[in-house]
Amino acid sequence: MAQLIKVRPTKIELVKLKRRLGLSSRVQKIMKDRLSILTMEFLQAARDTVSAKKKALGAMTEAYKAMTIASGYHGYVALQKELVASEADISVTAGPRNVAGVRIPSLEFNEPSGGLRGYDLAQTSSLVDSASDTAREALRAIIELAELQRGLELLGAEINRTKRITNALEYIIIPNLQATIRFLKMKFEERDREEKARLKRVKVLLARKET
Amino acid sequence: MSLPLPELRDDTQPQYERFIDAYLSSELRLVNSGLPQRRRSLSELLNEAQPQIPCTDGSQQMVKRSELEYLSSLLDAPDRESLMLPILIEMTGDQSGAIVLCPGSAEQKIVSSVVGMHLVCERPGRLRIYKPQLSLLRRKLKTTTQYIFSTRSSD
Distances (CA, A) of B77 to B38, B42, B74: 22, 10, 10
Strands (E), chain B: 40-41, 52-54, 60-62, 84-85, 87-91, 97-101, 126-130, 145-149
Task: Write the pLDDT tens digit of every residue in A98-120.
Answer: 888 888 998 888 877 655 566 66
Res A159: pLDDT: 94
Confidence of residue A202 (pLDDT cuts 50, 70, 90): very high
Residues of B in contact with A191 (CB under 8 A): 2
Residues 16-45 of B with CB under 8 A from A: 17, 20-21, 24-25, 27-28, 30-34
Residues 6+ apart with CB under 8 A from B121: B102, B108, B127
Torsions phi, psi for B60 (to 5 deg):
-115, 130
Is B34 in contact with A103 (Cβ distance < 8 A)?
Answer: yes
Average pLDDT score over chain A: 87
Task: Look at A29-38, A121-130, A159-168, B63-72 and tell me which has the smallest mean pLDDT.
Answer: A121-130
Return d(Cα A194, Cα B14) in angstroms, integer: 30
What H or E segment, with its residue span, contains residue A102?
strand A102-109
Is A95 in contact with B60 (Cβ distance < 8 A)?
Answer: yes
Q: Which of A45, A178, A62 is nearest to A106 (CA)?
A: A45
CATH class assigned to A11-210: mainly alpha
DSSP letter string, A32-88:
HHHHHHHHHHHHHHHHHHHHHHHHHHHHHHHHHHHHHHHHHHH-HHHHHHHHHTT--
Task: Write the pLDDT tens digit of every residue in A6-25.
Answer: 788 888 889 988 988 988 88
Is B21 in contact with A97 (Cβ distance < 8 A)?
Answer: no
Is B28 in contact with A98 (Cβ distance < 8 A)?
Answer: no
Is A96 in contact with B28 (Cβ distance < 8 A)?
Answer: no
Mean pLDDT of B46-68: 87
Task: Look at A80-94, A171-185, B85-99, B114-128 and tell me which has the smallest mean pLDDT.
Answer: A80-94
Residues of A in contact with B55 (CB under 8 A): 98
Q: Which of A112, A127, A141 is nearest to A53 (CA)?
A: A141
Return d(Cα B108, Cα B35) in angstroms, integer: 20
The answer to whether A132 and A120 are in contact (CB under 8 A) is no
Q: Which of B122, B124, B146 is nearest to B134 (CA)?
A: B146
* More confidently predicted of B117 and A203: A203
The angle at the Cα of B37, spanning B54 to A26, to the nearest 5 degrees, equals: 120
The answer to whether B32 and B70 are in contact (CB under 8 A) is no
Res B155: pLDDT: 47
The residue ranges of every structural domain in chain B are 40-149
Is A23 in contact with B8 (Cβ distance < 8 A)?
Answer: no
CA dihedral of B41, A93, B145, A99, whole degrees rounded to 10: -140
Q: Which of B139, B110, B90 is nearest to A51 (CA)?
A: B139
Q: Is the pLDDT of residue B10 over 70?
A: no
Mean pLDDT of A138-155: 92
Distances (CA, A) of A84 to A99, A111, A132, B143: 42, 20, 13, 37
Task: Write the pLDDT tens digit of every residue in B71-85.
Answer: 999 888 888 888 888
Residues of B in contact with A103 (CB under 8 A): 34, 59
How close does chain B come to A175, measured CA to CA in Å? Answer: 14
Q: Is the pLDDT of residue B38 over 80?
A: yes
Task: Look at A28-42, A66-80, B13-27, B131-145 and tell me which has the smallest mean pLDDT.
Answer: B13-27
Task: Write the pLDDT tens digit of every residue in A32-63.
Answer: 888 999 999 999 999 999 999 999 999 999 98
The answer to whether B71 and B130 are in contact (CB under 8 A) is no
**Is A170's Cβ below 8 Å from some Cβ in B?**
no
Gyration radius of chain A over CA positions: 35
How close does chain B come to A202, measured CA to CA in Å? Answer: 17
Helix axes B65-74, B105-115, angle to 10 degrees: 100
**Is A117's Cβ below 8 Å from some Cβ in B?**
no
What share of chain A has pLDDT > 70, as a percent? 93
Residues of A in contact with B1 (CB under 8 A): 194
Residues 6+ apart with CB under 8 A from A52: A141, A144, A145, A148
